[in-house]
Structure 1
C-alpha cells in the first residue's frame, strides 16, 4: 500500500448533518404527509439533478409543473434550504485539524453549486480544507469516476496516496476501483476509532 498523503471527505452525512426533514416537519401536519411528500414529490433523484448542475430555479419549476398541488411546498425546498442544515457532525469535524498536521485534507461532495456557499458561510471547517470539488460546479456527480479524476487532477494528488471517506457505498466502490484507500462510514461507526486503528490518526 502506498504511503498516505491525503484525506478526502464527503460532506453530507460525514461532516454536515443535512436532512429535508428539519424543514418539512414544521410544514406538514403529520409525519405521514411529510414522508409521502419527500418519497414521492421532492425525491432524492430530483434533488441530485441540482447537485449535477441543474439550476435550482429550473428544478423547482419542473417539479411544480408535475405536482401543482404542492407548488408552495416545493418552492420551500430551496427557498428555505438553510433550514435543512442540522449543523456539523462534531465528532468528525474535530478530526480535521489533527489530520492536517500529517496530511492534505480535501472535500469531494455531491452538492448544488448554488447552495454550497450557504454551508460555507455557516461552518468554519471549510477554511481548514486544502481544497474541494463540488459536483454542481463540475456538472457531474458521484459515483461517476469523472468527479474523482477532477479532484486528482486539480490538486495533483494520487488515488493510491489518498483515503476517501463517504457514507454512500456506491461512492466508495468507485473510489476503490480508482485505487483510493477507503472508509465506508456506516451508522454508529466511530471515525476517530477507525482512523486510530489504521494508525492514520
Structure 2
C-alpha cells in the first residue's frame, strides 16, 4: 500500500509556462534555441551546481564570464531566465490535502537556491515531510542512491512510495528501485492518476 508520495520540482511543481524571456535572451546573446537552458542545466558547470560542487551564485558567475557579460547583465539574464516559471498552486493545494493522509516528499535535481526558494519565496516547504535536493546529497537522479536516501528518511520500502517526475528516464529509474511512478506531463490529471494507485486526497 502506498504511504509516501514523492514529487519532482522543476517541470512538475514549478514549470516554465512562458518561454519568451529565455528566447529573448537567447536572441540577444546569440545563443541557439534552447541554449540558455543548456548552459544553466546541462553544461558541465550546470551539472556541478546540481551536484553541489559549486553554488548557484558561482554557476551564474561562470555563465556571465562565459558569455562576457557584466555583473549587472548577468543578474538581468538570471532574472529573465527564471521569470517565466510559475508555481502550480493547484498542485500545492492537492499536496497539502494528501499530506493529511500520506507522507509527502521532494526529490529534485537542483542547485543551492532551492531550499530557500521553497521556504521563503514560495512558502511551501511545510507541505513536505522530507526535501531531498541533489546539490545537498551530491548525487542526482536517475542515480538509484537518491531514491534510497529518500526512502530511508521516510522510513518506507520502495513498494510503499510513488514518485512523480516529468522526465521518463527518472520515472524509469524510480521504477527500477521498486517505486510506483507517474510520468508527469502538461494536462495530466494527477489526482486521477493517483486514484488509479489507490491514493485518495479526500
Q: TM-score, normalised by structure 2?
A: 0.80
2:3 aligned partner? 5
Structure 2 distance, partners of 1:163, 1:101, is 16
How many residues get paired?
198
TM-score by length of 1: 0.80
How many angstroms does 1:191 deviate by? Answer: 0.6
Checking the alignment, whether the CA contact within 8 Å between 2:26 and 2:32 is kept in structure 1 is yes
Q: 1:67 to 1:28 in 2, by over 3 A?
A: closer
Residues 119 and 84 of structure 1, relative CA distance in 2, 3 Å threshold: farther
Residue 118 in structure 1 maps to residue 117 in structure 2 = yes
- Cα deviation digits, residues 95-127 of structure 1 (max 9, x gap): 112212221111111111234312321223221
Quote the residue 2:56 is aligned against.
56
* Contact 2:19–2:84, Cα closer than 8 Å, also in 1: no
Matches within 5 A, 1:177-192: 177-192=176-191
* Aligned partners of 2:130 and 2:153 also within 8 Å: no
CA drift of 1:91 comes to 2.8
| Residue in structure 2 matching 1:38, options 36, 41, 54 | 36
Across the aligned residues of Structure 1 and Structure 2, the Cα RMSD in angstroms comes to 3.2
**Equivalent residues of 1:56, 1:78 under 8 A apart:** no
Runs of 5+ unmatched residues, structure 2: none
Question: Which SS does the other structure have where 1:172 is aligned?
Answer: helix
In structure 2, the CA distance between the partners of 1:73 and 1:90, relative to structure 1 (3 Å rule), is same
* Distance in structure 2 (CA, Å) of the matches to 1:147 and 1:39: 23
